[in-house]
């Protein structure tokens, strides 16, 4: 049984037999309420929207004392015994991946979900992790083949895994030019109590980046449009912002730090992009490659803070180099959303739904244009 919580489900579009289910996991200190504006659009796009809260967020099962002790031990060992710290974080993330897997299995079992079409352009499930939530998606891909199938091949339902504006460090890439400058969470000059408050403004701003990676704007958002958080009412903030897991001592804060420092996120990403070489016989006529057939779509918003932009470039470079080397790699695609900030789902929700649903070959990059900044 999953310890995650389904907070909202738009339900199947009336009369549709080929709808796509999109299951969304939230980011750092923002729970799934931040995706609420997507739900009314479900029928228009022939999708079913399912919003999920991670552990330690409203409705989900809190982490146990044993869970937190494992993170504490990893944090204590990260400088003295890196391998031991990494192993503890990987075990912690395997448990989180199992929770997500159990949620998906339960959802498919309880609902008459259309399977992915033969053409791969309708039906099925897209699992999306926004921002820090992307760590749960790379863990899912890294570990899912080791979980028991219970006579249900989930791989024939999972059509796509979406890494939605995921920052480089959540994917285990090194900082750009060795510099983490900009993100208040990593600013040692700030008091711990200041970090999460300043982070909310910083992460929800609009940024004007150049085409040069060396000149990405690290710290100062545009004055107009203003940061998303400054446009939200107190009621809207209460419906979506839940700071405690991201505050000092919170589970997200601790996992973020030790996942980066131990190299665990790098291990998860590397394994996630390289599918298992296995196949399953469903019946005498049908052979499934299961999760090996699941594609990855990296959606990035080019007016977001620099960290997801660098995450995109780093993954694109890794994918291109792996293909040239002949590595066994998943189908990985990229979609750029122009003039969109990290919270475009709040401002222009139909645009991000279009980005999630794009079709492209693994050699292409799709551009979805918001127009002028929202």
Extended beta strands in 284-331, E state:
286-288, 295-301
Count CB atoms within 10 A of the CB of residue 126: 21
Render pLDDT for 233-256 as a digit per residue (tens, 0 to 9): 999 999 999 999 998 899 999 999
Contacting residues for 141 by C-beta, under 8 A, at least 6 apart? 161, 271, 272, 273, 291, 294, 296, 330
In a domain, 45, yes or no: yes
In a domain, 323, yes or no: yes
pLDDT of residue 334: 93
In a domain, 129, yes or no: yes
Read off the CATH number of the domain in which 29 is found.
3.40.50.1820
What is the helix (H) or strand (E) element at residue 192, kind and residue range?
Answer: helix 192-203
What is the helix (H) or strand (E) element at residue 312, kind and residue range?
Answer: helix 306-324
User: What is d(CA 341, CA 132) in angstroms, rounded to the nearest whole number?
Assistant: 15
Render pLDDT for 144-171 as a digit per residue (tens, 0 to 9): 888 887 778 888 899 999 999 999 999 9
- With a pLDDT cut of 70, the percent of the chain lying above it is 91
In a domain, 350, yes or no: yes
Domain count for the chain, please give it: 1
The Cα angle at residue 328 between residues 327 and 332, in degrees rounded to 5: 100
Mean pLDDT to the nearest integer, 5-20 = 96
- With a pLDDT cut of 90, the percent of the chain lying above it is 70
In a domain, 330, yes or no: yes
Q: Do the beta carbons of residue 335 and residue 358 sit within 8 Å? A: yes
User: Average pLDDT of the chain?
Assistant: 89
In a domain, 332, yes or no: yes
In a domain, 208, yes or no: no
Domain that holds residue 337: 5-180+242-369
In a domain, 248, yes or no: yes
pLDDT > 70? residue 201: yes
Render pLDDT for 303-336 as a digit per residue (tens, 0 to 9): 999 999 999 999 999 999 999 999 999 999 999 9
Phi (first) and psi of residue 76, to 5 degrees:
-70, -30
Residue 16 burial (C-beta neighbours within 10 Å; 0-12, 13-18, 19+):
middle
Mean pLDDT to the nearest integer, 215-224 = 84
pLDDT > 90? residue 367: no
């Amino acid at each position: 049984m999953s310890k995650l919580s389904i907070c909202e489900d738009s339900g199947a579009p009336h009369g549709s037999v080929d709808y796509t289910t999109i299951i969304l996991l939230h980011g750092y200190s923002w729970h799934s309420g931040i995706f609420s504006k997507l739900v009314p659009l479900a029928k228009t796009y022939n999708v079913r929207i399912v919003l999920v809260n991670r552990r330690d967020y409203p409705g989900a099962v809190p982490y146990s004392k044993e869970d937190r002790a494992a993170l504490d031990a990893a944090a204590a060992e990260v400088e003295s015994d890196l391998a031991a710290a990494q192993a503890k974080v990987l075990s912690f993330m395997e448990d989180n991946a199992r929770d997500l897997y159990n949620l998906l299995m339960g959802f498919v079992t309880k609902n008459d979900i259309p399977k992915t079409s033969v053409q791969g352009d309708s039906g099925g499930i897209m699992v999306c992790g926004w921002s820090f939530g992307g760590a749960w998606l790379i863990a899912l891909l890294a570990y899912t083949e080791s979980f028991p199938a219970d006579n249900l091949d989930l791989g024939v339902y999972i059509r796509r895994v979406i890494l939605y504006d995921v920052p480089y460090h959540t994917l285990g890439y090194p900082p750009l030019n060795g510099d983490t400058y900009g993100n208040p969470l990593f600013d040692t000059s700030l008091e711990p109590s200041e970090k999460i408050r300043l982070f909310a403004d910083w992460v929800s701003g609009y940024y004007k980046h150049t085409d040069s990676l060396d000149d990405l704007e690290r710290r100062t958002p545009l004055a107009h449009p203003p940061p998303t958080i400054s446009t939200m009412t107190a009621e809207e903030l209460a419906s979506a912002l839940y700071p405690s897991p991201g505050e000092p001592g919170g589970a997200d804060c601790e996992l973020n730090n030790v996942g980066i420092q131990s190299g665990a996120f790098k291990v998860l990403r590397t394994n996630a992009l390289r599918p298992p070489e296995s196949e399953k016989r469903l019946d005498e006529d049908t052979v499934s490659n299961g999760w090996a057939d699941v594609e990855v779509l990296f959606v990035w918003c080019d007016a977001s803070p620099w960290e997801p932009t660098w995450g995109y470039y780093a993954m694109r470079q890794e994918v291109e180099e792996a293909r040239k080397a002949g590595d066994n790699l998943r189908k990985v695609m990229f979609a750029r959303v122009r003039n969109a900030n990290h919270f475009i789902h709040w401002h222009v929700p139909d645009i991000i739904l279009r980005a999630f649903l794009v079709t492209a070959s693994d050699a292409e990059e799709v551009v979805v244009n918001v127009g002028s900044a929202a």
